[in-house]
Each structure stands twice: as C-alpha cells, then as structure tokens.
Amino acid sequence: RREVLVSLLEVVDNLDRALASSSSDDPLTAGVRLVRSTFEQVLARYGVKGFSGMGQPFDPAQHEALMQVPTAEQPAGTVVVEHARGFTLNDRLIRPALVGVSVAPPAGEDSGSGTNE
C-alpha cells in the first residue's frame, strides 16, 4: 500500500510542476488546479497529507536537502527552495520534502538572489 501511495505522489508532483510553469490566465490552469485539488482530496480520505517546508528551519526528520543555496536573505539552515512537497500517511512520514537549504554566502559576497546559479 505504501509503495502505491509513494508512486502516486509523482502525479501530484507533476501537477505542481504544471501549475508552477503555467500562466494564471491560461484556461487550462484552472482545470489542472481542480484536478490537483480533487486528487489531494482523494489521498486525504486515505490519510495522506502534503506539507511544505518553505521558510521553515531545516529538519532532517521532515526534509531531504538536495542542495545548499548561498544567500544573505534568510538565516543559514532555512528551507529556501522546494523541489517537491513532503507527505505523511496517518501522521507518519512517507516522503520528506525535497529542499534547498540556505547557507551563508562566501566571505566578501552578498548573494541575495536565493538561487544557486
């Protein structure tokens, strides 16, 4: 059961990516948003809930760090990029949020862009 749920989270991830890359005035965006909402409601009936780590202190029990992001805009150790939301099943972690975590910029640099370019 857990394996099936984790596989279905890829669908939610792809819907999130579609929404992130779409224009709010695109007529398909409302349809994709509705499909995503309905899909998450169905998952919630079975105890699956999504969560975001954005702006939160990095927590290795809830987040998987994929990258470090040099920035002076957030304190070191803060989630500043989220590649995929995390999910729980009946309040137990089934997938950590996949994130980028802030680190202090190298001495002499003031990287406030929040990206790793």
Return the pLDDT at 117: 44
Summarised one tens digit per residue, pLDDT across range 22-61 is: 988 888 999 999 999 999 999 999 999 999 999 999 999 9
The answer to whether 36 touches 16, Cβ cutoff 8 Å, is yes
Instruction: Please report the pLDDT score of residue 109 as a whole number.
Output: 61
Q: What percent of the chain has pLDDT over 90?
A: 80
Backbone angles phi, psi at 17, to 5 degrees: -65, -40
Query: What mean pLDDT comes out for the span 1-14?
Result: 91
> Phi then psi for 73, rounded to 5 degrees?
-80, -20
Q: Is the pLDDT score of 12 beyond 70?
A: yes
110 pLDDT higher than 90: no
Residues in the chain: 117
